[in-house]
């Protein structure tokens, strides 16, 4: 899934770009502003918007010398488009919720890399640190099964490859304070979706 442009990934072409702009807008926009933000020509925008208005997904209000447009929030398709625009946040919330159901539970689950920075596209991996509780080895049966269950869920949820970096609770603080590039990136950009925040783990900031 392209999490930078989730609306356009599902609704291709000019219509998807215009939908994305309207979904992220906090108020009404005129045609030229929509065209500029969507990177669509004014002529093409002037063809697409009336179709959306006629279907009831977008409302038009005359405000001479121009007209203003906005999504109709009550329309079922508009609701879906707004949900699409929030796909990344929804994924983060669901990843955390599923981690909370695992037995044994990880101490923390930290998303890092392009997904954490809001830069993930369809070719990006979902990079995750999973902190293993003290006393459990990586090959411990219940723990390994829990990790595999969560990995499969994350893969099906996003459609992206899932790369899990496992680390023991006793060593996570030292790693987060290290100068290794990957751990510096995790300490700086990591998003904790479940469990103890980065500050509590010994990192440089809390999520």
Hey, where are the domains in the chain?
6-84, 87-201
Same fold, 6-84 and 87-201: no
Calpha distance 58→1 (Å, rounded):
26
The answer to whether the CB of 32 falls within 8 A of the CB of 50 is no
pLDDT at 5: 87
Instruction: Give the phi and the psi of residue 111 in degrees, each rounded to 5.
Output: -90, 135
The answer to whether the CB of 176 falls within 8 A of the CB of 200 is no
pTM to 2 decimal places: 0.80
User: Which residues, listed in sequence order, are joined to residue 6 by a DSSP beta bridge?
Assistant: none
Q: Give whole-number Cα distances, 107 to 132, 143, 190, in Å.
A: 6, 12, 15
Query: Dihedral (C-alpha) 72, 82, 27, 115: value to the nearest 10 degrees?
Result: -170
The architecture in CATH of the region 6-84 reads: Orthogonal Bundle (1.10)
> Angle at the Cα of 166 (from 160 to 170), degrees rounded to 5?
150
User: Which residues, listed in sequence order, are joined to residue 132 by a DSSP beta bridge?
Assistant: 168
pLDDT at 177: 87
Q: Give whole-number Cα distances, 31 to 17, 48, 146, 161, 169, in Å.
A: 13, 10, 50, 39, 54
pLDDT at 206: 36
The architecture in CATH of the region 87-201 reads: 2-Layer Sandwich (3.30)
pLDDT in tens, the chain (207 residues): 888 888 888 888 999 999 999 999 989 999 999 999 999 999 999 999 999 999 999 999 999 888 999 999 999 988 999 898 899 999 999 999 999 999 999 999 999 999 999 898 888 999 999 999 988 877 888 999 999 999 999 999 999 999 999 999 988 988 988 889 999 899 889 999 999 988 888 754 433
Instruction: Give the phi and the psi of residue 116 in degrees, each rounded to 5.
Output: -65, -35
Calpha distance 159→74 (Å, rounded):
29
Calpha distance 126→70 (Å, rounded):
33
The answer to whether the CB of 100 falls within 8 A of the CB of 194 is yes
């Amino acid at each position: 899934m392209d999490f930078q442009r989730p609306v356009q990934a599902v609704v291709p072409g000019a219509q998807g770009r215009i939908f994305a702009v309207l979904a992220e807008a906090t108020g009404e926009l005129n045609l030229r502003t929509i065209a500029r933000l969507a990177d669509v020509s004014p002529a093409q925008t002037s063809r697409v918007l009336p179709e959306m208005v006629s279907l009831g997904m977008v409302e038009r209000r005359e405000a001479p010398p121009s007209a203003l447009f906005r999504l109709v929030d009550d329309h079922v398709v508009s609701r879906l488009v707004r949900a699409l625009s929030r796909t990344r946040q929804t994924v983060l919330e669901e990843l955390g919720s599923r981690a909370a159901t695992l037995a044994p539970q990880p101490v923390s689950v930290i998303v890092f890399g392009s997904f954490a920075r809001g830069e993930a596209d369809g070719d990006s991996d979902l990079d995750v640190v999973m902190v293993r509780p003290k006393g459990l080895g990586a090959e411990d049966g219940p723990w390994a099964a829990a990790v595999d269950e969560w990995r499969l869920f994350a893969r099906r949820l996003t459609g992206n490859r899932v790369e899990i970096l496992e680390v023991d609770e006793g060593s996570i603080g030292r790693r987060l304070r290290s100068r290794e590039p990957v751990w510096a990136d995790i300490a700086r950009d990591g998003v904790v979706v479940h469990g103890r925040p980065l500050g509590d783990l010994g990192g440089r900031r809390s999520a």
